[in-house]
Structure 1
Amino acid sequence: MTSAWSRQRGVSPETSRLLIERAHEELVAGNRGDTRLADVRPLVRDSWERSLASLVGAEGLPPMALSREELEEYRRAHPLATVMDMIRGLLLPGETSESGVVVAVGDASGRLLWVEGDLDIRRRTGDMGFVEGANWAEDAVGTAAPGTALRLDRSVQIHGAEHYNRLVQPWSCTAAPLHDPETRRLLGVIDVTGGAEAVTPQAQLLVDAAARAIESELLVARLRRRAEAPKRRASRRAPVRATLRVLGRDRAVLETGGASDPTASVQLSARHAEILLMLATHRAGLSAERLGELVYGDGATESLRPEMVRLRRVVESVAPALVPASRPYRLIVDLDTDAQHVVSLLDRGAHRVALAAYAGAVLPDSVAPGVEQVRASVSAALREALIEDASVDVLLAYADTDEAADDAEVLRLCLELLPARSPKRAGVVARLDRLTS
């Protein structure tokens, strides 16, 4: 089947790309009186002003609002989960992996819940943080179709240079909000991202029609459920959310609640950090002997037991549900780590976001055998993912980290990917010469 996103001729942005780029530069620099701003579409100009007022960075990455575990749980309960097959059928017919566009579905807050479509485009847009779990609200990333459509509660098309964030300007997108068919409350947004074919008049008609069809399907399904079964109400206790932060620090921090608004936190001793990291990594549990080997290196269970008593007291003061159980030693509820979060971002193709989240090696001064294994695993996963699939800008940023400063293979790959006349080549060549001389 031919993709609905085949390129149409004769469609171009209302204002030239260079003029829009210059107007954007002047606005970001504080020159709001520049005459070129008058040539920018009012919808875009107003969104730029809101982005500026929200202190959105012109080259910032979107915040990751949901971890992999939070994302999976949230998606299962979200009303749009029931219409995902319909969305795929309407917007990604034929061979999805070669569709030429990426289709994203977000919630009413702008958090992307599903990102599917062309594999190559997903890989490249992943570098700018266009991945599941990222927050693409207008006040988080600036002018972009998903967030601006939610902000205005109407369908929106944003052509490349009209994006507020420079990292997003190579792409164009069309988005439309989705509403509850009865209350008209915002449920989320559907977005199509790609090249010029994603912002044709036909694209907007298709996305608008898809939104109306989705809302109709939600209503039909709701009426069917009411007819088939009595209304049930179930109450659930809110799950415990906890994160162990171990990257780039020797004194780990245990946080409960969301990353942006932790309800409580405590700094752990080096030994307690090692023990909790092992329990978070081995979720099925560990015998006293095995945990002793991973922490002390010699299965020193006599040293482990009193340390576990002290650890339980510390954890109980912050999150009683996280107090380790015995026989085997294990955590009853899941404990996320910032190290696992980086690996999850790499799995989603968000290389630039993963690198930004990588604050350094796992508990860098620890000599516990289990910690050394986790440290090496996370470091290797980051390096391999970036070498295999990251853009040259991300690779250059990685080469500037302490971890890759002396990595000749990374520097050689940067040289291969940099354009022949790039001014950055000289610095890379000089670094390679120092390493090989």
Structure 2
Amino acid sequence: MPSPWSRPSISPENSGLMIARAHDELLAGNDDRRLADVRPLVRESWRRSLASLVGPEGLPTLDFSREELDEYRRQHPLAGVMDMVRALLLPGTAEESGVVVAVGDAAGRLLWVEGDRHVRTLTGGMGFVAGANWAEEVVGTSAPGTALTLGRSVQIRGAEHFNRLVQPWSCTAAPVHDPETRRLLGMIDVTGGPEAVTPQAQLLVDATARAIENEVLVARLRAQSTPPPRRASPSRMVLHTLGRDRALLEVGGSGLELSARHAEILTLLAVHREGMSAEALSEAVYGHSAVETLRPEMVRLRRALVPFAPSLVPASRPYRLPDVIETDAQHVLSLLDRGAHRVALAACAGPVLPQSDAPGIVELRESVRAALRETLMAEAGVDVLLAFADTADGHDDEEVLRLCLSMLPARSPKRAGLVARIERLERE
């Protein structure tokens, strides 16, 4: 694969000489009109660097020994995405790419630095090595540290760096967030010559950051669906209801299959975390007020839970679960809310307790189905929508099929199959 790092066809938007003069004036304490030649993003970063007492020719601190770095990297959530980073940012012969790619943590410490061997040798001289701290308050204006400070991707060209030792280089960096909590996990950076700060470079780095976040989420889902028993947390509880008539309660690495009625009750209590009165719960389960029927069922459910998950034994008045339990149905809705459409579709293994006719379960089942369908139709790309059209819910949905048809290119080979399915539905 050819390298994506090609030199720009146009010169930088600001003269490096003018920026360097403005930098000198700032360090001399002359906050004069020359700063107008500097981009606001850079100008404000320079001022933060001064406020942090960053030296204009200092080296970053090395925050890890080799042993500490190895151990920290093994445990870091970005450790599992390094192959993806290499594939996206260092295709072909990485050691001749002309750039180095760094992945760091949320504190600005570089954990991996890979890429062109010659460039790595040169940038290593200014401390751009694994274990070094490149936070803005340590080394001043640079793409890795400034991206973390601002929470978005940035490009820093040559003389825009606060540290003079870094000014021969240019860089593009983007923060990486936890896909569920949006907490900062770290950042990715590309450093090199002018080729590292083209518009295409920023698009590629941004896209890589989003791909990393998706990969972190997918890896987390895989771990949740098949947790290693010896490493599973005993406190984590999941109720699997999608595509199952007898729900599976998972606690740590162990599972308990519930009866159909107990599955309905536990699912409703998991969804209604604030609790349900005996009347409301009986109506949601039986379709009418049947408190006297519900009470002995609750006794049997408690007996089943005591040896397996005592923290889930429901309290009374109202009926409520003392501990939080996650349902796979709610997880799908959460993924949709975050825009993880492809992951949500993959996680939706079927309807909620498909054979249940309990009114509360029917309502939950329909709300999940409708949310998935409506969100995908409104926001998802054609590939995800086509995948939905191959599910049981989407297969005979003429509106979904027509939307897919409208989104496909005119010469797509997939159009013929869609047209045939739509014509069949019209005949029927």
The TM-score range, normalised by the shorter chain, is: 0.5 to 0.7
Amino acid at match of 2:349: A
Whether the aligned pair in 2 keeps the contact of 1:279 and 1:286 (CA below 8 Å) is yes
Query: Quick one: structure 1 residues 137 and 270, their matched pair in 2 at CA, closer, same or farther if it must change by over 3 Å?
Result: same
**CA positional deviation for 1:162:** 9.8
Alpha-carbon deviations, 1:192-211, whole Å to 9, x = none? 9xxxx999998973549997
Whether the aligned pair in 1 keeps the contact of 2:246 and 2:260 (CA below 8 Å) is yes
SS in 2 for 1:266: strand
Query: Quick one: structure 1 residues 426 and 175, their matched pair in 2 at CA, closer, same or farther if it must change by over 3 Å?
Result: farther
| Equivalence for 1:205 | 171
Query: Residue 389 of structure 1 is aligned with which of 379, 396, 414?
Result: 379
The 5 Å alignment of 1:70-219 reads 109=75, 111=77, 137-138=80-81, 143-145=83-85, 158=89, 175-178=102-105, 205-207=171-173
The whole-number CA distance in structure 1 between the counterparts of 2:371 and 2:236 is 25
**CA positional deviation for 1:351:** 0.6
- Structure 1: 5+ residue runs without aligned partners? 1-6, 12-88, 91-106, 113-135, 149-155, 164-172, 213-237
**CA positional deviation for 1:177:** 1.8
The 5 Å alignment of 1:228-307 reads 240-257=235-252, 262=253, 264-307=254-297
* Residue 9 in structure 1 maps to residue 8 in structure 2: yes
Alpha-carbon deviations, 1:219-241, whole Å to 9, x = none? xxxxxxxxxxxxxxxxxxx8831
Amino acid at match of 2:80: A
SS in 2 for 1:244: strand
The whole-number CA distance in structure 2 between the counterparts of 1:208 and 1:365 is 47
The whole-number CA distance in structure 1 between the counterparts of 2:325 and 2:91 is 40
SS in 2 for 1:295: helix
Task: Tell me which stretches of 4 or more aligned residues in structure 1 moved more than 6 Å.
Answer: 160-163, 183-187, 189-192, 197-204, 208-212
SS in 2 for 1:356: helix
Query: Residue 427 of structure 1 is aligned with which of 409, 417, 428?
Result: 417
Alpha-carbon deviations, 1:339-359, whole Å to 9, x = none? 001011111111111100000
The whole-number CA distance in structure 2 between the counterparts of 1:303 and 1:162 is 70
Amino acid at match of 1:421: R
SS in 1 for 2:103: strand
Query: Quick one: structure 1 residues 370 and 161, their matched pair in 2 at CA, closer, same or farther if it must change by over 3 Å?
Result: farther
| Equivalence for 1:331 | 321
SS in 2 for 1:143: helix
The whole-number CA distance in structure 2 between the counterparts of 1:324 and 1:307 is 12
Q: Which has the higher contact order (CA 8 A, sep 6+)?
A: 1
* Residue 351 in structure 1 maps to residue 341 in structure 2: yes
| Equivalence for 2:395 | 405
- Higher Rg: 2
Whether the aligned pair in 2 keeps the contact of 1:387 and 1:395 (CA below 8 Å) is yes
Whether the aligned pair in 1 keeps the contact of 2:239 and 2:267 (CA below 8 Å) is yes
| Equivalence for 1:23 | none
The whole-number CA distance in structure 2 between the counterparts of 1:420 and 1:357 is 31
Identity %: 51
SS in 1 for 2:393: helix
The whole-number CA distance in structure 2 between the counterparts of 1:380 and 1:341 is 15
Whether the aligned pair in 1 keeps the contact of 2:103 and 2:187 (CA below 8 Å) is yes
TM-score by length of 2: 0.53
Alpha-carbon deviations, 1:36-66, whole Å to 9, x = none? xxxxxxxxxxxxxxxxxxxxxxxxxxxxxxx
Whether the aligned pair in 2 keeps the contact of 1:242 and 1:256 (CA below 8 Å) is yes
Whether the aligned pair in 1 keeps the contact of 2:154 and 2:172 (CA below 8 Å) is no
Amino acid at match of 2:403: L
SS in 1 for 2:83: coil
The whole-number CA distance in structure 2 between the counterparts of 1:248 and 1:161 is 43
Whether the aligned pair in 2 keeps the contact of 1:159 and 1:199 (CA below 8 Å) is no
CA RMSD, 1 decimal: 4.2
Amino acid at match of 2:244: R
The whole-number CA distance in structure 2 between the counterparts of 1:211 and 1:386 is 30
TM-score by length of 1: 0.52
SS in 2 for 1:265: strand
The 5 Å alignment of 1:373-384 reads 373-384=363-374
